[in-house]
Structure 1
Amino acid sequence: MNPEEFKQALHDKGIDITEKQMQQFDDYLRLLQEWNEKINLTAITEKEEVYLKHFYDSITAGLYVDFNKGVQSLCDVGAGAGFPSIPLKIIFPQLEVTIVDSLNKRIQFLTTLAETLALEGVHFYHDRAETFGQNKQFRESFDFVTARAVARMSVLAELCLPLVKKGGIFIALKASNSDQEMQESQKAITTLGGKIREDYIFELPKEAGERHILLIDKKKETPKKFPRKPGTPNKSPL
């Protein structure tokens, strides 16, 4: 997917992108390729793949959630090279974005990226999701929490749901999502105060594979003991 195809694909979905935004994505790609030679940010670095599998893929969350309702807060857990939150911030500039990542080098890249793209209202924290979720300043304070990850849903739920405010939405972007995995995660999601609203399944353009966007509503407050200590959710999922 070249930049023009990217622009057209978004237009076809009802998202019109300005020249300034196109330039921001161009600068994003350049910086990603430069930094990736020094630190491992992503295995996908070829221009057309980045536009399709990183930029377009990240923005698909905006097809199922309304990010245009005034100023709303979004926390991206383990954002890595900034996906999905930075592409969403470019397209929906009024979003107030917080990114938490456990690797300081990635935070350095993201800080440089935000400065280069002149993004305002973006905050970066070098922390483990488990610790961040127990921080009173951030706990249950976000309208949206996103994760674009391969971790099992029961693990993602424990890392993300404690950060979602009551009435907010946890948005999980996944390449695959088996029925068995969903059944196994039901207990964890309910325990953490969430309720599955919908699992949207679609194909990326150019036969680039199946994607799932899972929306989980925060119905009740998360019990104080969650998330557990760093590493525990992964070792023994709920």
Structure 2
Amino acid sequence: MNPKQFVEALHQKGIKLSDKQIEQFAIYYQTLVEWNEKINLTAITDEEDVYLKHFYDSISAAFYHDFTEELHICDVGAGAGFPSIPLKICFPDLQVTIVDSLKKRVNFLNELAAKLEINGMVFHHDRAETFGKNKKFRESFDIVTARAVARMTVLSELCLPLTKKSGVFIAMKGSHSDQEVTDSSTAIKLLGGNLDTIHTFTLPNENSERSIIVIDKKRNTPNKYPRKPGVPGKKPIV
């Protein structure tokens, strides 16, 4: 998917990019490639692959959920900024908080935000388990997102404590996510969530399957969660 096809594909989904936004995606790509030579941000560096598998794929969450309001989003383990920064470019009113455990990635994100000239973004060098215990941030976000971070049993413990009551947790996954959702049903319920919908679609051009799992936050998360760093991954809630 080249940049022109990317713009056209989004237009077909009702997202019309301005010249400035198109330029921002071009800057994003160039900055990503430059930094990727210094630190490991992504294995995907070909322009057409980045536009399809990172940019378009990140924005696909907006095909199924409304991001047009001034919402507060927390992106857990965003890495090179996916999905929150492509969403922020498309929907400038979003207020975005990114949490990542690697300082070098946070440095990249800070430089990227400066080059893109976008405001309303904050980056935190922290573990999600610690961040979710912070009273300033706990249960304060309208939407919490995570893309290709961990299995749903683990993601639920990292993300639902940050999701405010009446908010949503959106997990972006690959194919065959149904079993992950089934396996995480106990964790989701315990942490205050309720499965809303699993949206399944295929990426244009290559037809690889993607899933967007939407979890509604119905109840407050018990104070004991998230557990200490590393524990959710080693001992998932079952």
Q: Is 1:76 the equivalent of 2:75?
A: yes
* 2:184 match: secondary structure: helix
The equivalent of 1:13 in structure 2 is 13
1:53 equivalent in structure 2: 53
Cα 1:208/1:49, change in 2 over 3 Å: farther
1:163 pairs with 2:162: yes
Equivalences, count: 237
Hey, what's the Cα distance between the residues in 2 that align with 1:176 and 1:156?
Answer: 17
Q: Deviations over 1:134-157 (max 9, x none)?
A: 000000000000000151101000
Q: Which runs of 5+ in 2 are unaligned?
A: none
Question: 1:86-101 alignment to 2 at 5 Å?
Answer: 86-101=85-100
Residue 99 of structure 1, CA deviation: 0.2
Letter in 1 for 2:3: P
Amino acid paired to 1:5: Q
TM-fit CA distance, 1:180: 2.6
1:103 aligns with: 102
The correspondence of residues 115-134 of structure 1 with structure 2, limited to 5 A, is 115-134=114-133
Q: Secondary structure at the match of 1:201?
A: strand
What is the aligned partner in structure 2 of residue 206 from structure 1? 205
Q: Which residue of 2 aligns with 1:145?
A: 144
Give the letter aligned to residue 40 of structure 2.
Answer: N
- Displacement of 1:208: 4.3
Structure 1 residues 77-134: Cα deviation after superposition (integer angstroms, max 9, x where no partner): 0000000000000000000000000000000000000000001000000000000000
Q: Give the deviation of 1:178 after TM superposition.
A: 3.6
Alpha-carbon offset, residue 68 of structure 1: 1.2
Name stretches of at least 5 consecutive residues in structure 1 with no aligned partner.
none
User: What CA distance in whole angstroms lies between the structure 2 residues aligned with 1:145 and 1:97?
Assistant: 10
1:216 Cα deviation after fit = 0.3
Superposition TM-score, scaled by structure 1 size: 0.98
**Aligned structure 1 segments of 4 or more residues deviating by more than 4 angstroms:** none
State the 1:176 CA deviation.
2.4
Output the CA distance in 1 between the equivalents of 2:100 and 2:11.
32
TM-score (norm 2): 0.98
CA-atom RMSD in angstroms: 0.8
Query: Shift of the alpha carbon at 1:177?
Result: 3.5
Following the alignment from structure 2 to structure 1, what is the Cα–Cα distance between the partners of residues 86 and 55?
A: 6
Percent identical pairs in the alignment equals: 64
Looking at structure 2, the residues matched to 179 and 31 of structure 1 have their Cα atoms a distance apart, in angstroms, of 35
CA contact (8 A) 1:157 1:189 kept: yes
Q: Distance in 2 between matches of 1:98 and 1:45?
A: 25
| 1:30-67: CA deviation from partner (whole Å, max 9, x where unpaired) | 00000000000000011000000000000001111111
Q: In the alignment, residue 201 of structure 1 is paired with which amino acid?
A: T
